[in-house]
């Protein structure tokens, strides 16, 4: 549901002022997904997280995307968090293991 809202917001933003800001929204959604994933919400799956990561990467590499250093930093921090959780081990580490960053 959040992705549908984000896509609608992105389309509105693109029509109004170009492509800036939409990637930040997707990264924010990814962070929320990770929170609920850790809490054990069964609706937030590895496939959903992986799909969102791929969407963000595609948006950032798009020819029409305006480079945004703050989005790059935000995504890098999120990816480091995922890596940290993988390396931490235990039950949380096992949950994060299938996520490819």
Residue-wise pLDDT tens for the chain (101 aa)?
Answer: 666 666 666 665 554 444 556 788 889 999 999 999 999 999 999 999 999 999 889 888 875 667 778 889 999 999 999 999 999 888 888 999 999 98
Which of helix, strand or coil describes residue 87?
Answer: helix
Domain ranges of the chain: 1-97
Predicted pLDDT of residue 47: 93
Nearest in space to 57 (alpha carbons), one of 73, 41, 72, 40? 72
Question: pTM value?
Answer: 0.78
Cα–Cα distance measured from residue 73 to residue 96, given in angstroms and rounded to the nearest whole number: 21
């Amino acid at each position: 549901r959040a992705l549908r809202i984000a896509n609608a917001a992105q389309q509105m933003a693109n029509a109004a002022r170009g492509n800036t800001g939409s990637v930040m929204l997707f990264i924010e959604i990814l962070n929320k997904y990770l929170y609920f994933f850790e809490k054990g919400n069964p609706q937030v799956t590895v496939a959903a997280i992986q799909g969102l990561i791929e969407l963000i990467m595609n948006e950032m590499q798009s020819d029409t995307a305006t480079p945004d250093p703050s989005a790059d930093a935000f995504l890098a921090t999120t990816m480091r968090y995922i890596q940290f959780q993988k390396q931490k081990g235990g039950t949380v580490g096992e949950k994060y293991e299938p996520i490819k960053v």
